[in-house]
A and B are shown apart, each in its own frame.
Chain A
Amino acid sequence: MAQTSQFCTFYLDKLLFGVELKGVQEVMRSLDMTKVPLAPEVVSGLINLRGQIVTAVDLRRRLELEPRPPGMLAMNVVVRSEDGAVSLLVDEIGDVVEVEETTFEPPPETLRGTVRTMILGVHKLNDRLMHVLDIEKACQMMDVAETVAAGR
């Protein structure tokens, strides 16, 4: 039997993304956020997660997608990164899916730019593709500047 792994899925601009379930600490509704002036654009702010201060990263901006329409409340997917917990802001939470390794494929060569460094590949689900997100890369800020600089 092929090896399976579980993914926590979520939507961003109608695209389906997934992060490995074991890297996810919790999923929270929209929380009060404190803006951080002068911070990189992708940092939405800081949230208080039961006494722990967690940086919120706007995944739409991080993945260079369209900005979230006004009025749409973001959900928090709190993941464990090397540098402690980070909250990823997403549009909507999906199911937990179990996938086999055989359905995995690396990203196509035509996928370029910053996004390519953050997407490990896709799992071919029955009805659609699930983008597998590299949590560490998504949480790294320095890389943004570097890759942007390198890409242009």
Chain B
Amino acid sequence: MSDSDIVQDFLVESYENLDRLDRELVGLEKNPEDRDALASVFRTIHTIKGTCGFLGFNQLEKVAHVGENLLTRLRDGQLTLNRELTTALLEMVDAVRQMLGSIEATGGEGKRDDTKLIATLTRLQQLPEAQPVSKAAPLPATTPEGATSPSSIGDILMQTTSVTSAEIQFATEKQQEGDPRRLGEILVEQGAVQPGDIVDALRIQQSSRVHTAASDSTIRVDTGLLDKVMTLVGELVLARNQVLQFASCMKDPGFLAASHRLNLITTELQAGVMKTRMQPIGNIWGQFPRTVRDVALGCGKEVGIEMEGKETELDKTIIEAIKDPLTHLVRNSVDHGIELPEDRVKAGKDRAGRLILRAFHEGGQVNIEISDDGAGLNVERIRKKAVERALITPEQAIRMPEREIFNLIFLPGFSTAEKVTNVSGRGVGMDVVKTNVEKIGGTVDVQSTLGRGTTVRVKIPLTLAIIPALVVTCGGDRYAIPQVSLLELVRLKADQVSKGIELVHGAPVYRLRGRLLPLVYLSRELNLAADTRSATKSDGAINIVVVQADERRFGLVVDQINDTEEIVVKPLRKQLKTVKTFAGSSIMGDGKVALILDVLGLAQRAGVIAETRDRALTEKATDLAASAQEKQTFLLFAGPGDSRMAIPLSTLARLEEFPVAQVEMSGSQWVTQYRGQILPLVRLNVALEERRNKLRALQAPPALDSGPIQVLVLNHDGRSFGLVVERILDIVEDRADVRSAATRAAVLYSVVIGDRVTEMLDIPAILRGAGGSTKRRGLATKSTEVAN
């Protein structure tokens, strides 16, 4: 074994040890009397110190050494672990970790100044004689009760040196009488052994410990090798699929039996190899108690962390991919979610907040929940912020349901933190969390109750390497659609096609249980030679694969639906990275290559989802607005020339009918006496008139021979006025979501209400146009006179 191998082993082992230290120290802080944990912490630091002394990393050794001294006092009960001590020890762990990182990268410890840390650790020992007896041979430890440990230092010393059992007995007794020193130190002082012997003995002791601790049932395997085995199994799966296809057209019973066995064995082998890549999620959760502690301390909070389902297993690559997003979510929960202890007490909660991590399997996916019992998300604040940041319009904000509002926090540039803290509130993060989770085919969702807490739920697939997929044919080629984005399959028979598929201004849609499902023709999107007619097969039936991308459903029309299959995902090479409609490729049973559709990319290409998330959201909001309009009520009336016009019923005060005789002139303004007030009357036909005809029309007195006039009494800006219309038609409830731009002034837009195009009146514009201001009317009249 070369030196670099030894260093490499040292690094791997030390990293694991450091992670354990984090956990154990945080655990110890809560329960300082746990002697076993303390002993374990001590051993870990000691091992690191011993090895780096051996490998010549002096700086590292120095830091570990003071840490060890401090731990000695703790272990011997001279000090009790408190927050200050824990922080200092954790700092030491960090320093060691940084040095290890530097050793890994450059081979050296790097230039560091740890005098402050060393001083802190030394000060915290607070004992008159802080240094051990012999500096040359730092004399480390046995377990607290040296003589009783399985292979005690005393036993080893007896085997390797001339020390007698009586001498050891004496030293042990001295320890039991209260001598704070370690067995080795006492023995050296007595002159029974040489310091060097003790170091040797300790090394023997340690190696025996390693052997008993690390169970023989596990081995370390290079992940590169595992990946290779995984690839080979993937290829075996493909070969198996090919054999099975042959088997289906072979009659030989022997061959059939053999292929059947091959099938079973391959499936089991695949499952077995997949398992080697599986890791319990506890591996990444392990660091969270430390994270929570540090963040909580940093912002003066008390937070306890609970974990459920640590053993839930995930593919190694996925574990790595979700580590950072999860860390961010945990930090966020502590920093934003959980309130300060005083506020919690005021709200009638425990001083200490609870953070609960849960992981469990569900439907081939892994759910990870991060819940806190903190303040919860403030809907109003998010709404306000989103409008301020122009992420949504005020109208959208009002109409958005709460759930949608919560999910706004995942938009880029969004942060509700009142102040920017060290930890979060910089407006980066949640969107990155979402992006990273989605990159591996997962989803994030947030639920919250104000004052009760927030739960973020992350759903991710178990593995990325082999996925179940639906294989379809289009334009003669096969494509695989990952099962995760699949919702259902719809087959329309020839006679259903003409009825079932409708067009919204040329865009095909299908009514799926009463909701319109936009249809995307795969052959058209992929510019395949065959036109859309090829989707309609000879029997005239069409196949719709209902898929979901980014919470939007759409129907993918394909030529043929083949089967579901487990496929091995192979990434596309960089020559094809620009093609966003494909997520990868795979080899089918017959040895041909099939492309794996990227449903999200396809949806973007087809325009089902806008390119950027912001726009997608805006559209979603518009959708919501439209559905909110379902209940909107309109007053329909006839305008000049029998045109259909409407106003929202909410703007109407009353409907009145006046005989023409009651209409009086006030200047050129029609007025009438209404409930003891003078009600100005605005004639719709005048208001909508072209400008040059307007003045003449304005001055025309009411034609006395006509019947009673129909007046809509409206309130605007606190004033009442009457709008004279030709005829009142109806009051209807309608969605009114098919809109087009206005064609004339005083009209907001045109909508389809009750199957007919209807103009939506712009009431403020009408008031302006009809001359709400006396001054302007005066001027206008004067100019008319001049013109006359």
Contact = CB atoms under 8 A, between A and B. Distances in A.
Interface string B522-544: 00001110000000000000000
Contacts of A86: 573, 575
Nearest to A34: B593
Contacts of B592: 32, 34, 48
A37 B574 contact: no
B571 to A, nearest CB: 9
Interface in A21-63: 32-40, 43, 45-48, 51, 53-55, 57
Nearest to B581: A38
Contacts of A32: 591-592
Given A43-B575, A55-B575, A48 B477 contact: no
A48 B528 contact: no
B574 A53 contact: no
B575 A57 contact: yes
A146 to B, nearest CB: 12
Contact of B575 (A34, A51, A139): A139
B585 A51 contact: no
Nearest to A46: B593
A83 interface: yes
A141 interface: yes
A79 B283 CA distance: 41
A43 B576 contact: yes
**Interface range on chain A (Cβ under 8 Å from partner):** 20 to 34
A151 interface: no
B572 to A, nearest CB: 8
A69 interface: no
29 contacts: A32-B591, A32-B592, A33-B593, A34-B585, A34-B594, A36-B579, A37-B526, A38-B526, A38-B581, A39-B575, A39-B579, A40-B575, A40-B576, A46-B595, A48-B592, A51-B235, A53-B570, A53-B593, A54-B573, A55-B573, A55-B576, A57-B575, A83-B573, A86-B573, A86-B575, A140-B574, A141-B574, A141-B575, A142-B578
B238 A36 contact: no
Interface in B564-606: 570, 572-576, 578-579, 581-582, 585-587, 591-595
Given A37-B581, A48-B592, A141-B575, 7 more contacts: A34-B592, A34-B594, A38-B527, A46-B585, A53-B585, A53-B587, A83-B574
A84 interface: yes
> Which 3 pairs, one residue from A and one from B, show the smallest C-beta to C-beta distance?
A37-B526, A51-B235, A34-B593
Contacts of B593: 33-34, 45-48, 53
Nearest to B232: A51
Contacts of A38: 526-527, 579, 581
Contacts of A40: 575-576, 578
A68 to B, nearest CB: 18
Contacts of B239: 51
Interface of B: 234-235, 238-239, 475, 477, 526-528, 570, 572-576, 578-579, 581-582, 585-587, 591-595
Instruction: Name the residue in B570, B575, B587 with the highest tally of chain A Cβ atoms < 10 Å from its Cβ.
Output: B575
Contact of B573 (A34, A51, A84): A84
Contacts of A45: 593
A86 B594 CA distance: 17
Instruction: Name the residue in A43, A51, A55 with the highest tally of chain B Cβ atoms < 10 Å from its Cβ.
Output: A51
Contacts of B526: 37-38
B404 to A, nearest CB: 33
Given A46-B593, A48-B591, A37 B528 contact: yes
A48 B579 CA distance: 19
A48 B234 CA distance: 14
Interface string A111-152: 000000000000000000000000000011110000000000
B595 A36 contact: yes
B573 to A, nearest CB: 5
Contact of B587 (A48, A84, A142): A48
Nearest to A85: B573
A87 B439 CA distance: 29
A40 B527 CA distance: 13
Nearest to B571: A53
B238 to A, nearest CB: 6
Contacts of B594: 34
Contact of B238 (A51, A57, A141): A51
A142 B576 CA distance: 10
Contacts of B475: 37
A98 B578 CA distance: 38
Contacts of B587: 48, 51, 53
A34 B579 contact: no
A68 B174 CA distance: 94
A36 B235 CA distance: 22
Contacts of B582: 36
Contact of B477 (A34, A51, A83, A142): A34
Interface string A81-120: 0011010000000000000000000000000000000000
A83 to B, nearest CB: 5
Nearest to A50: B235
Contacts of B575: 39-40, 43, 55, 57, 83, 86, 139-141
Nearest to A145: B578
Nearest to B570: A53
A76 to B, nearest CB: 14
A135 B516 CA distance: 51
Contacts of A140: 574-575
Contacts of B570: 53
Nearest to B585: A53
A37 B475 CA distance: 10
B583 to A, nearest CB: 13
Nearest to A54: B573
A26 B593 CA distance: 20
Contacts of A39: 575-576, 579
Contacts of B528: 37
B595 A34 contact: yes
B135 to A, nearest CB: 54
A36 B527 contact: no
Contact of A37 (B527, B572, B573, B591): B527
Contacts of B235: 51
A36 B475 CA distance: 12
A141 B528 CA distance: 22
